[in-house]
Structure 1
Amino acid sequence: MKSGIDGHIRRGHPIIFGLLILFGIVELAISAWLTSRFSKYHNESSGSEESRVNYTLFCSIWTVVLGAVYLVLFFYAATGSALTSILSHIVFFSLTWIFWTAAAAAITEMLGGGLNCGTQKEFVYCGQLNALEAFAWMEWIFTTFALIFVIVRGIKAARRGDGYGGSLVV
């Protein structure tokens, strides 16, 4: 017997992964553009700025590629696959959450919480860095909500006797 939550998962899974991928592509574009500018003009304020932007580029690629894989697998192997299991989702979202926490915190610390582009003189690409920070925190928020939901779903599956190796949907 299917529960009402299964319908929500069937609708919500593509939505959350779609949002993660969409905002990941935006973050990827911004961080790749900044990386190319730093490589070409060497106008970063410090080596730390370049490293943090490069790390954000890695996080974006991670999220877009693996998010797309999970989205495709959800549609074609929704049940019975180890890659679509609750445990697999917990591992993916836990790692992704750690990556985005580090990226968002690093960018925020570098910018001192955000830049006023009208008054600051240190950073060349002020608007892009502000956008990089904002989208990093959005990725973190989506990942946090998804991780909490998958953990709750895993706890319910374990109590039901299915374990964490079970599928998100029954």
Structure 2
Amino acid sequence: MSSRFDVHIRRGQPITMGLLVFFSIIELSISAWLTARFNQHHNFPSSSVRDKTRFILFCSAWTILGAGIYMTLFLLSAGTSALTSVGSHALFLFMTWVFWLSAAASITAAYSGGLSCKGNHPPYCGQQNAQEGFAWILWVLSTFALLMIILRGVAATRRGDGLRGGLIA
């Protein structure tokens, strides 16, 4: 039974981590650009938005580095090494999930649910809306990845490997 799911894990893990890296690069670009503009012109809507944009910049860098490393290690070790164990993935993805939930919720709260770019709007309104949207996309992706790792953790525990077991049986 597990060999049937192993095929999906061999394909799905690199795809999921690749999507996390891809969308994080987009988010990093937006948040770095906004941070540079806010620092240069001091025209941020509030200090809260400025600080949360910086936190999103950190979350993006964290995700690019972590997901890139996990994707590379998984491809090199075929998911059987201790570095690519279920527990290791779960720890990274849980931290990433918390970061993106915090980032997306806090920037949404700072914008009072969202920005309207009609009429009198803050500077860089479109970029700020894109930043908020991509933060939520990254939270959804990390939620999906975390749920898959939890399911693999249950399967690894049932087969007796525990959380030290690999993603692939």
Q: TM-score, normalised by structure 2?
A: 0.96
Alignment partner, residue 16 of structure 1? 16
Alignment partner, residue 4 of structure 1? 4
Residues 55-110 of structure 1 show CA distances to partners (whole Å, capped at 9, x for unaligned) of 00000000001111011001112244221000000000000000000000011111
Alignment partner, residue 49 of structure 2? 49
Q: Aligned with 2:163: secondary structure?
A: coil
**Amino acid in the other structure paired with 2:81:** S
Whether 1:141 and 2:140 are equivalent positions in the alignment is yes
Alignment partner, residue 127 of structure 1? 126
Gaps of 5+ in 1: none
Residues 102-139 of structure 1 show CA distances to partners (whole Å, capped at 9, x for unaligned) of 00001111112211201343x21110110001000000
Whether 1:113 and 2:110 are equivalent positions in the alignment is no
**Amino acid in the other structure paired with 1:93:** L
CA drift of 1:156 comes to 1.2
User: C-alpha distance in 2, partners of 1:34/1:155?
Assistant: 41
Gaps of 5+ in 2: none
Considering only aligned residues, what root-mean-square deviation do their CA atoms show, in Å?
Answer: 1.2
* Pairs aligned (count): 169
- Contact 2:17–2:67, Cα closer than 8 Å, also in 1: yes
Alignment partner, residue 152 of structure 1? 151
User: C-alpha distance in 1, partners of 2:124/2:101?
Assistant: 22
Alignment partner, residue 60 of structure 1? 60
**Amino acid in the other structure paired with 1:158:** T
User: C-alpha distance in 2, partners of 1:23/1:90?
Assistant: 20
Q: Aligned with 2:144: secondary structure?
A: helix
Q: Aligned with 2:118: secondary structure?
A: coil
CA drift of 1:14 comes to 1.0
CA drift of 1:151 comes to 0.5
Q: Aligned with 2:164: secondary structure?
A: coil
Q: TM-score, normalised by structure 1?
A: 0.96
User: C-alpha distance in 2, partners of 1:25/1:79?
Assistant: 25
